[in-house]
Amino acid sequence: MYRLDRQAFTIQTFESAANQRAYWLSKPPRERLAASWYLTCCAWNLNVDEVHRLDRTCFSIRNREE
C-alpha cells in the first residue's frame, strides 16, 4: 500500500513545506485519512488491517449530575 522511503528525508525550506501541504490538500479526504492511519499504525506498531477497539477497562461510565 504505502512504503516509507527512508532516503527521501531532507531538510526543506518553508516554500517546499508549503508545497507538501498543497499536495496533501489536493488529495481527497479519504486518501488523506488512509495515509494518516497508516502513519499512526507505523508509529504505534499496529496492524493496519485490524479493527482496533478502545480499551474500556481504563474508563468508567458514570452519570453526569445535572
Q: Within a domain: residue 29?
A: yes
- With b meaning 16 or more CB within 10 Å and e meaning fewer, what string describes 20-48? eeeeeeeeeeeeeeeeeeeeeeeeeeeee
Q: Within a domain: residue 46?
A: yes
How many domains are there within the chain? 1
The reported pLDDT for the residue numbered 66 is 60
Q: Within a domain: residue 6?
A: no
User: Which residue segment(s) compose the domain that 20 sits in?
Assistant: 14-58
Q: Within a domain: residue 50?
A: yes
* Model confidence, pTM: 0.56
Instruction: Categorise residue 10: left if φ over 0, alpha if ψ from -120 to 50, beta otherwise.
Output: beta
Over the chain (66 residues), the average pLDDT of each successive run of 10 is 70 80 91 90 87 78 72
> In this structure, what C-alpha cell is assigned to residue 11?
531538510
The whole-angstrom separation of Cα 2 and Cα 53 is 23
The reported pLDDT for the residue numbered 57 is 79
